[in-house]
Amino acid sequence: MVNAESTINRLTGEWSVSMKFSMEGGVAKGRGTAVGRSIALGRGVQFVLKGNLEGIGTYEDNSLVAYDAEEDTICLFTVTSMGVVHTRTGRYEGGDTLVMRWSGRLRGRPAEEEITVSLFSEDAFAIRQVVRVDGTITTIGEYQYQRSGHGVLEEPVPTFA
């Protein structure tokens, strides 16, 4: 299996999540749970996060992440309950870090986002999300994940030649 696919498949399992969003108007913190499932016979992961954020309420984030060997890129597609629909791409540089970027428009203004996934161990990882609008940082999202279970793989992840 390509190293990028192996790294992405480390996201499978059940996770406890703490979240912190630093925004122009203050800070919102929250907690939740996430489930990562292997898809397409180990070629990607579906990742669903559900939680509650102070001042916002119920939050849900549904993502698909995979490695595109043809383009040598990591692809992350996300839909959130706050109306965000983004496709991010990036390169796998090796090791335990995945970095993906998006650029487009938010509220009619030029925007960009960078997502950094840092895998600390088999049981812990973090995501840092930095959003810039008109070149100015407007939101920093920090997610801390701690494994709570392994029981969501319906079948073994195969090894490809």
User: What pLDDT shows up at residue 77?
Assistant: 97
Question: How does pLDDT run across 86-100, given as a tens digit for each residue?
Answer: 999 998 777 788 899
- For the domain made up of 3-149, the CATH class stated in words is mainly beta
> Distances in Å between the alpha carbon of 13 and those of 1, 49, 71, 120?
19, 12, 27, 15
Q: Quote the mean pLDDT of the chain.
A: 90
Mean pLDDT for 102-126 is 94
Report pTM.
Answer: 0.88
Question: How does pLDDT run across 28-58, given as a tens digit for each residue?
Answer: 999 999 999 999 988 999 999 999 999 889 9
